[in-house]
Amino acid sequence: MSDRVMFGLLGPLEAWSGEARLDLGPPKRRLLLTRLLVEDGHPVSADRLCDDLWEGSPPAGAVSSVHSHISRLRAVLEPGRTRRGQGTVLVSGPAGYTLNAPPETRDSTRFEESVTHARELLSQGRLEDARHEVESGLGLWRGAALADAANHAFAAREISRLEEIRMAAGELNATVLLQQHEYDRAALIAEELTTRSPLREAAWALLMRALYLAGRPAEALRRYETIRTLLADELGAVPGPELSGVHVAVLRQDLPAPEPVRPPAPQASPGARATPPARPARPSVIARPLVGRAGDVARYEELLGDAAEGRTRWVLLSGESGSGKTRLAEEFASRAADLAFRVVWVRCGIDTASDEEEEAENARFNPLGQLLSALYPQIRVEGEPEAIARDLAERLARQPTICLIEDLHRAGRRFRRLLGMYATLLRDVPLVVVCTTQDTDDVGLRELLALLVRQSRATLLPLGPLTVEDVHELMRLRSTPFDELMGSEPREREAVALHRRGEGNPFLITEILELPGDQRTGPGARLPASVIRVLRARMDQLDQRVLKMLEALAVTGGELDPELLLGIRAITREELLSLIDAAVIARMLDWEEGTDGRMGRYLMPELAREVVLHDLTPARRQMLHAAAARALGELPHRHPAQISRHLMAAGPLVARDDLVTAALRAGERCTNDEQHGEAAVWFDHAAALADDPAVQAEARRAAEAARRRLAQAQQGIGHPCDPAGMPDDDSGWAGPEPRVS
């Protein structure tokens, strides 16, 4: 009767015998049947069933309950079987219970076959047939895959695999619609895909194409900003080559409609010379450039050659968020694909906090399971590692493969142990494993990396910051005709400023380069929203004491003055050192070595300081300026201008008469120091603030005298002079309010 029982897994579990729908009973019985179906004809012991059905905590009567459910399932699946007769659908043996349900009896198999057939039809140019086939397959879905077992670890890998195929089928359907010029309908399907999987770049690229071709380019550009923001928030990553390429093409209004695939040419007559098939052309749009990593790519090319000859190679890409790990991994994958390597991407999930949750985490996010599922759905991952490794090695030997494991630092402890074990077992197969990871203090991760280096001779590729020359190259690649009008010297100065502002981080610099030229650096510089989010993620690592120190540091110019900070924050030197250490670890504070006899110093990176200032409320900023003025007044040998700047910025917290007195004192000190331009500015401030006419007149006379001295100094030779206005060394001056782009 097994050939007559059909199972539906693409939604709540169903079973049919002919036209009759079978009653599968209560949830636990349906869960048991799902567990046996997932095993694909392999036996499952009663103990394992108990563990899986009750998620590791079976009650005392679990085995009896399983036996009872098995008996009732047999009665439903084989109603004609005698009570003691041998069953053919649900059978028992020494290894446990086995459900004999051939692949063709499951709707999930029919769905996969429809998707495969649709791809073949599309490659033959049979668009309407391909569309009908893929839509028929998608029509088999009635809800979430394996819905009865959605929250159980044993089903996680199969659910993930089926949902991935479902997403790919939706993208295939949208692609066919694009080739049939049904752009609005393709956009609706792509929109649904992006809602279901918000970080899937292929779906977003399809949506942008469909919107643009439907005459809605502005909407396409808005969608790009949406996914770019999502990637920055969730992954600290930037869009990949395909998505970036579509974005550039939309901006240039140069995204042609896809040409329908042509049917293959008729077969040549016998004896005719065969012509090798042409390699698919690369997209004509310009993808996001890879700059500053030529040495890493060259080293990878050597390892790729080794793997092609049957020697397993491991590559470890490490670096901070935004350093370009994913972009470089994409380049590695592209070069491997050009050499006919099979390319498999897997992503590690967020690590769990307890051993009890480890099994569920491993089932859902285990990259080994994802790899095996993507390559060989029928391979078994349970059993002795040596046996699994032999099976995997045999299959890998058939085609060179590159496996890219992203975010290894997020992998669970159990997977790390498995990965280290398989790294020692898989040695002489045509395989490249590329792992990306962030620099962390995780001892377990460090032990794994050391094992990979020691046992598998893994190649370490730490990604440092870009150089000024790299930034200059990025600017050249992104230049517009207007930018080309700028001379080489100003562009070099801008590259230096951009490198300093972006800390050499590829993501930060790339985001800033998206701004108009006059908003990247200098007085008109803006803060891209994506950059703010990345830097706030750094700040989230810090407790309130460190954040308060950074706020005080930001309003006092960004250079750490220990005596001033101790006066503002009222903390001990030991406490200050621990706060500094935490800020350095979070990359919110950098140490700059001294040169030419100067002492080293701690500095806030420009963007970090801008974000801290941006997040300060006006009242909080004024309070910090007032506190800085008080602290400076208690320190010896401090320039009055420093105190006056903070008093001016403190706003209503300082009395007008105190502001006038401070401005006059600063002007007098600047006059004595022959800083006549700045002296004139301070005297002007005093005149504008004073209520007493006599004080106003005195301040104006002092300002005019300072300007005369400045003019005389500018006409002299070798006499010190300074420009009129405030100094731009930023010593103690908070600067303008940062603007957000």
As given in the structure block, the two tokens for residue 61 are: 């009567």
pLDDT at 130: 94
State whether 126 and 59 are in the same domain.
Answer: yes
Mean pLDDT score of the chain? 81
11 neighbors 147 (Cβ within 8 angstroms)? yes
pLDDT tier for residue 371 given thresholds of 50, 70 and 90? low
201 assigned to some structural domain: no
Of 137 and 523, more confident: 137
Concatenating the DSSP letter of every residue in 291-321 gives -S-HHHHHHHHHHHHHHHTT--EEEEEE-ST
Q: At a CB cut-off of 8 Å and minimum separation 6, what does 349 contact?
A: 361, 364, 365, 410, 411, 412
Q: Among the ranges 91-105, 355-369, 477-491, which has the highest mean pLDDT value?
A: 91-105
Residue 123 has pLDDT above 50, yes or no: yes
Closest C-alpha among 530, 479, 477, 470 to residue 498: 470
Residue 532 has pLDDT above 80, yes or no: yes
pTM > 0.75: no
Domain enclosing residue 312, as ranges: 294-462
Kindly report, residue by residue over 230-248, the tens digit of the pLDDT: 887 777 777 888 888 888 8
* Span 428-443, average pLDDT: 86
pLDDT at 258: 67
pLDDT tier for residue 81 given thresholds of 50, 70 and 90? low
Q: What percent of the chain has pLDDT over 70?
A: 84
Q: Which of 438, 462, 486 finishes a domain?
A: 462
Q: Which of 586, 616, 646 finishes a domain?
A: 616
Give the ranges where 309-442 is alpha helix by DSSP (H): 325-338, 355-365, 367-375, 385-396, 413-425
Residue 642 has pLDDT above 50, yes or no: yes
* Span 128-134, average pLDDT: 94
The residue type at 102: P
203 assigned to some structural domain: no
Q: What percent of the chain has pLDDT over 90?
A: 27
Residue 304 has pLDDT above 80, yes or no: yes
* Span 572-581, average pLDDT: 90
211 assigned to some structural domain: no
pLDDT at 270: 37
As given in the structure block, the two tokens for residue 122 are: 């599309």
Number of domains in the chain: 5
State whether 301 and 450 are in the same domain.
Answer: yes
Q: Among the ranges 332-341, 342-351, 404-413, 625-634, which has the highest mean pLDDT value?
A: 625-634
686 assigned to some structural domain: yes
Residue 351 has pLDDT above 70, yes or no: no
State whether 78 and 53 are in the same domain.
Answer: yes
Kindly report, residue by residue over 600-610, the tens digit of the pLDDT: 899 999 999 99
Q: How far apart are alpha carbons 549 and 448 in whole angstroms? A: 36
State whether 354 and 477 are in the same domain.
Answer: no
Q: Which residues pair with 314 in a beta bridge?
A: 433
pLDDT at 287: 45
State whether 457 and 485 are in the same domain.
Answer: no
State whether 9 and 131 are in the same domain.
Answer: yes
Q: How far apart are alpha carbons 475 and 497 in whole angstroms? A: 12
pLDDT at 467: 93
State whether 586 and 502 are in the same domain.
Answer: no
Of 347 and 361, more confident: 347
pLDDT at 250: 84
- Return the number of other C-beta atoms located less than 10 Å from residue 331's C-beta: 18
pLDDT tier for residue 726 given thresholds of 50, 70 and 90? very low
Q: How far apart are alpha carbons 129 and 172 in whole angstroms? A: 13
Instruction: Indicate which CATH number applies to the domain containing 405.
Output: 3.40.50.300
* Span 712-727, average pLDDT: 53
Residue 302 has pLDDT above 60, yes or no: yes
**526-527 and 590-592: which strand pairing?**
unpaired
pLDDT at 265: 43
734 assigned to some structural domain: yes
Query: Count of residues for the chain?
Result: 741
State whether 384 and 507 are in the same domain.
Answer: no
140 neighbors 110 (Cβ within 8 angstroms)? yes
pLDDT at 475: 86
Sign of the C-alpha dihedral computed for residues 504, 506, 511 and 513 taken in this order: positive
As given in the structure block, the two tokens for residue 106 are: 């499951």
State whether 431 and 502 are in the same domain.
Answer: no
pLDDT at 355: 42
Enumerate long-range contacts of 349-352, CB under 8 Å, 24 or more apart: 349/410, 349/411, 349/412, 350/410, 351/410, 351/411, 351/412, 351/413, 352/412
pLDDT at 6: 92
85 assigned to some structural domain: yes
271 assigned to some structural domain: no
Kindly report, residue by residue over 144-193, the tens digit of the pLDDT: 899 888 888 888 889 888 999 999 999 999 999 999 999 999 999 998 89
Which residue is associated with the tokens 């803060």?
527
Q: Which of 477, 494, 524 finishes a domain?
A: 524
pLDDT tier for residue 271 given thresholds of 50, 70 and 90? very low
State whether 427 and 518 are in the same domain.
Answer: no
Instruction: Indicate which CATH number applies to the domain containing 87.
Output: 1.10.10.10
State whether 400 and 540 are in the same domain.
Answer: no
162 neighbors 108 (Cβ within 8 angstroms)? yes
Which residue is associated with the tokens 């020494």?
94
State whether 76 and 12 are in the same domain.
Answer: yes
256 assigned to some structural domain: no
